Amino acid sequence: TRLSFPIDRLRQEILSQLEFYLSPDNMATDLYLRRQMDSQGWVRIEVLASFKRVQSKTSDVNLVRDVLGLSDYAEIRGEWVRSTEGWEKFVLPTAQPSVVEVESPYSLLLQADKAGHGTPLDEPEELEEEDEEDVVFVMGRE
């Protein structure tokens, strides 16, 4: 990932390691990580944070989550992460059904903007307003 701003050495090292774990080259041979994936390719962030090479840098799962947020190769939903590149090829037939919630249209727009494929809305409320209908209440006598 090429960032448009500097980050400290620790975060850069963690980012490089995490992106390696999520890479297609690693996924092709890392059966343990693939066994941790659900049917939609999601892995708990704490699983990646528990790996020895990450643990040698930090034991802070929140830091790992924050660093994953800097990656162009990681998609994050709460406590879950998956590769943005070809995760479908690596899901095992025995994978558990996904429990990761489907994202909102606003988060899809933000993700598209992060990838350079769209423009986010200025405010999330704008999206909600599009779905609202005008309702008129009429008070009368009975």
CA distance 72 to 98: 22
Residue 81 and residue 37 in contact, taking contact as beta carbons nearer than 8 Å: no
Average pLDDT over residues 71-92: 95
Q: How much of the chain is in helix, strand and coil states, percent to nearest 5? A: 45, 5, 50
Domain 9-99 has CATH 3.30.497.10: no
Tens-digit pLDDT profile for residues 82-131: 999 899 999 999 999 999 976 555 555 555 555 555 544 444 444 445 55
Tens-digit pLDDT profile for residues 11-54: 999 999 999 999 999 999 999 999 999 999 999 999 999 999 99
Domain segments of the chain as ranges: 9-99
Residue 14 and residue 63 in contact, taking contact as beta carbons nearer than 8 Å: yes
